[in-house]
Amino acid sequence: MMSESRWWDAVVPIVAAAIVAPVLILSDLDVLGRALVAASAALLIVAYFGFGRRLRQGGSTPLAVVFVILLAISIGVGVAAAPFIAMLQTLAYPLVWVSVDTRRGGVLGSVAIGFGVFIGFVAHGGFTIESLWEGILSGGLAVVFATALGLWISSIAEYGEERARLVTELTEAQSQVEALS
């Protein structure tokens, strides 16, 4: 079975490429737009391998802040060039939640990603009222759902960890009782 870290190591570049490739191949973006889309995916991948992976192996708050900022910039730049790149949220939100070690970090990271999406839509739309609404709706709704799912899954994981700890304690107690018999 593939370890969780190796799984993420494979998923991040594959999914990023799958999202970006159609835009690069099929869109009518100019050279700058294509470069920004490619740079967006590249930054997300570099951020994961440079910071996110280390966070998942036990990182620090400053490392988490850098990682989340890079993810938000990646998505903001990509969405500013081509709104379809907002699909990178499907990687960014889970990466935040599996990389930070607190619920607060997950919520703050989600807000940062949503802000990146918001800025991207506003920049793409030329800072109009319509683009403000697009950014608020896309970024805002994503933050709400990512936070709700992140908190829910975190509580399930904590519940499972508590149960595993209790089973370990029970097994140890049973072994001690058996040794006394």
Does residue 127 belong to any structural domain of this protein? yes
The C-alpha atoms of residue 115 and residue 86 are separated, in whole angstroms, by 12
Following DSSP, what letter does each residue of 58-90 receive, concatenated? T--HHHHHHHHHHHHHHHHHHHHH-GGGGGGHH
Does residue 68 belong to any structural domain of this protein? yes
The C-alpha atoms of residue 121 and residue 113 are separated, in whole angstroms, by 13
Does residue 157 belong to any structural domain of this protein? no
Evaluate whether 78 touches 120 at the Cβ level (below 8 Å). yes
In 3D space, the residue among 94, 72, 116 whose CA is nearest the CA of residue 8 turns out to be: 94
Does residue 138 belong to any structural domain of this protein? yes
Q: What is the pLDDT along the chain (181 residues), one digit of tens a residue?
A: 334 778 899 999 999 999 999 999 999 999 999 999 999 999 999 999 999 998 888 778 889 999 999 999 999 999 999 999 999 999 999 999 998 988 999 999 999 999 999 999 999 999 999 999 999 999 999 999 999 999 998 888 888 888 989 889 889 989 888 888 7
The C-alpha atoms of residue 10 and residue 99 are separated, in whole angstroms, by 16
Does residue 167 belong to any structural domain of this protein? no
- Within 10 A of 114 (CB to CB), how many other CB atoms are there? 26
In 3D space, the residue among 98, 141, 95, 96 whose CA is nearest the CA of residue 118 turns out to be: 141
Does residue 47 belong to any structural domain of this protein? yes
Does residue 151 belong to any structural domain of this protein? no
pTM score: 0.86
Residue-range definition of the domain harbouring residue 88: 4-146
Evaluate whether 95 touches 71 at the Cβ level (below 8 Å). yes
- Within 10 A of 44 (CB to CB), how many other CB atoms are there? 29
Terminal Cα distance for the chain, rounded? 40
Residue at 63: amino acid letter: L
Does residue 170 belong to any structural domain of this protein? no
Q: What is the dihedral of CA 85, 49, 73, 82, to 10 degrees?
A: -20
The C-alpha atoms of residue 157 and residue 33 are separated, in whole angstroms, by 40
Quote the number of domains for the chain: 1
